[in-house]
Amino acid sequence: MTAIIALLADETQQEKLVNFITQHENVLSHYRLMGLDNLAGALKQRTWLRIETMLSLRQGGDMVIASKIIAGEEIAAVIYLVEPTQTTFSELPLLTLLRVCNIYNIPIASNIGTAEAIIVQLRRTRSAYLIFNPVSGVGNANQDLLLIRQLLEPYFHLKVHLTTPETDPTELAKEAVEQNVDLVIASGGDGTVSAVAGAVINTNIPLGIIPRGTANAFSVALGIPTNIQGACEVIIAGLIRTIDVANCNGLPMILLAGIGFEAETVSKADRETKKRWGPLAYIMAGWQQLNEQTDFETEIEINGEINQCEAAAITVANVAPATSVLAQGLGQVIPDDGLLEVLMYTSPVDKMQALAGMVRLLGAGLLKTEIQRDNMIAFRTQRLKISTNPPQKVVLDGEIIGTTPIEVECVPKGLKIMTPAISAVPNVEEVATLNVNEVEVNEIENSLVEILPLEKPGL
């Protein structure tokens, strides 16, 4: 059962208590909060926290808390802000409650200073299970881990576990779930994050992310900083957002599945190339793949209805940043609408047409607008099956998992993620408010085509 924090205040200290609760709502949200009626009313317009109400002080509200302590209920702390001008200790209304807290060793604060000390201690009692992939990215893994520990250990009881060729991040994440930790943190590339996320789906355990991969597409899509300090600050702040996930051939999918062009591009960008060139490795591989990509026969089944067509690339997205251009046919990959975004793209006539199409998709993703092109089909669905002839490679969250066919199904609201206060991706309610300027899309396309070195195919 969740531990209780009792929140009380004299009438003159009410506003101080409201400000304190609002400031520390992310820490307090992990506890069962009890307070007076007037406190709940004052907080209603200031915070999303739920406060259980109890009797007023005149009716013995402090005695209710004292009785719970004596009865053995789990009380994490009592915060009771009193009027500082009280001169006689025996007149303090919290005297009995103070005595009970002393007997049963319950932390109690009577002013903002001691209340802040309780918050610091509550943070440190939260358990965080860090799954760290030492081979991700191009930086110094030892220095990265040292910095992460320096930033997080003052706020969490941090348990660090490193992945190895023999130690899969999925198994480590399952161990964390079995231990019922308060938070699981994944530090690595999109593959590591996807593996860890798969183990915490529908567990109610939030996932923190410290991106250290090549593309870090999932973090970028959700507005999570791609530097270690910024990502750790998001985790410390503790704001949680619930998003969709998906299953692809029984495997967890947090980003997207790609068939054809995208899968071949990822396959060509090996680890050594990515370490040397970073994200540029994907551009180089994609440019090469444009020379080789051909259409393939495709069969798509949705709700029992089967459709056939030809395609050179198919993307099924759950979450994707604007830079994942082959997911941007609808201009908006919404992470919490319970649907998958699907884009089918046929082979262009030449590289110039291919580049123009991709730039157009990038502009659509940046400006959140749907585009219409003769060689693109875009739609949303909750579930679908895709078969191809001949079989095509499939990339899932940045990792090649085999070949078609695939079956993908959305898991609505399946994952809790720690994100910044303002996410880079609007939720389903925000989409309707977006205003798009078609002229701006054209300007972006023209500008990017001018600066890209089309005359150098070997880039």
CATH 2.60.200.40 residue ranges of the chain are 253-411+435-451
Q: Pick one of 3.40.50.10330, 3.30.365.10, 3.40.50.720, 2.60.120.260 as the CATH number of 126-238.
A: 3.40.50.10330
pTM: 0.67
Q: What is the CATH number of domain 253-411+435-451?
A: 2.60.200.40
- Mapping DSSP to helix (H, G, I), strand (E, B) and coil, where does residue 385 land? strand
CATH 3.40.50.10330 residue ranges of the chain are 126-238
Asked if pLDDT for residue 113 goes beyond 80, the answer is yes
Q: What's the rounded Cα separation, in Å, for the pair 34 and 74?
A: 13
**Contact criterion met (CB below 8 Å) for 98 and 104:** no
Q: Catalytic positions, please?
A: 62
Highest mean pLDDT among 27-31, 65-69, 78-82, 406-410: 406-410
What was the pLDDT predicted at 177?
93
pLDDT in tens, 380-425: 999 999 999 999 989 898 888 999 999 999 999 999 999 996 544 4
Asked if pLDDT for residue 432 goes beyond 60, the answer is no
CATH 3.40.50.1380 residue ranges of the chain are 4-124
pLDDT in tens, 358-385: 545 444 444 455 556 667 888 999 999 9
**Contact criterion met (CB below 8 Å) for 362 and 448:** yes
Strands of the 51-54 sheet, one edge to the other:
51-54, 32-36, 4-9, 75-81, 108-109
Of the given ranges (160-169, 277-286, 434-443), which has the lowest mean pLDDT? 434-443
Q: What's the rounded Cα separation, in Å, for the pair 315 and 284?
A: 20
pLDDT in tens, 236-258: 888 889 999 999 999 999 999 98
Q: What's the rounded Cα separation, in Å, for the pair 169 and 167?
A: 7
Q: Which CATH architecture has domain 4-124?
A: 3-Layer(aba) Sandwich (3.40)
